[in-house]
Homo-oligomer: A and B are copies of this chain.
Amino acid sequence: MDAHTPDGAIEFWFDFGSAYAYFAALGIDALAERVGRPVLWRPYMLGTAFKATGARGLSSTPLKSDYALRDWQRLARLHGVPFSPPSGHPTVALAATRAFYHLEEEAPDLARRFAAAMFASYYRGEKDAGNAQDVADICAALGADRAAVLAALDAPGLKARTREIGEGAVARGIFGSPFFVVDGEPFFGADRMAMMEDWIRRGGW
């Protein structure tokens, strides 16, 4: 939680390079609207969690990498959305993560629209969430000041704030992407969104 957390919010923790987070991002706002809760979008670097868990990314894990690619393509067909991330997938999405928090200082809704646009562009294979110029292009298309974004991405203050947000999440037990927290209850994985919705409606069980 931080100063941006609205009361009753669903915290939505994700890494832009996480394909399961892309699918989660497609549905989280609609879910929240159904249960009358705000969403706090919270990108972070999954590598920060991997340092604590000793885990590694799906894409670099034998057997799991083949399954994950097949599963992502299957989910994309199910949801009728593109799935063709850049060839370097998964990217190290530090630029996009920092840009999100820069935009959030201006306007939380702008940051949320940036996140959705970044996901859409990355998973269409257009813009790389790890490339500052690409990230600035997305920001500019939403009306943000491109030069200010690029300057901010190199500013020590934004770097530190981004790192602190991620480390704070991991210190609270957040270790995956997507990972949700609502009413103090953690839910890991896009597959748990239905359970989380049920949990909110019933007030837990």
- A residues apposed to B, CB below 8 Å: 49, 52-56, 61-64, 66-67, 70-71, 74, 77-78, 170, 173-175, 186, 188-189, 191-192, 195, 205
Contacts and interface: CB of A to CB of B under 8 A. Distances in A.
Contacts of A56: 54
A199 B186 CA distance: 28
Contacts of A55: 55, 61, 64
A-B pairs, top 7 by smallest CB distance, nearest first, are: A191-B191, A63-B175, A53-B63, A77-B205, A53-B61, A63-B173, A53-B62
B49 A54 contact: no
B170 A63 contact: yes
A66 B173 contact: yes
25 contacts: A52-B62, A52-B63, A53-B61, A53-B63, A53-B64, A54-B56, A54-B61, A54-B62, A55-B55, A55-B64, A63-B170, A63-B173, A63-B174, A63-B175, A64-B175, A66-B173, A67-B175, A67-B186, A70-B186, A71-B188, A77-B205, A78-B195, A78-B205, A191-B191, A191-B192
A38 B38 CA distance: 44
Number of this chain's copies in the assembly equals 2
A187 B71 CA distance: 8
A176 to B, nearest CB: 8
Contacts of A53: 61-64
Given A53-B61, A53-B62, A55-B61, A67 B205 contact: no
Nearest to A65: B53
B67 A173 contact: yes
A186 B205 CA distance: 31
Contacts of A61: 53-55
Given A77-B205, A205-B77, A205-B78, A188 B54 contact: no
Given A55-B55, A189-B191, 13 more contacts: A49-B63, A53-B61, A53-B62, A53-B64, A55-B64, A63-B173, A63-B174, A67-B175, A67-B186, A74-B205, A77-B205, A78-B195, A191-B192
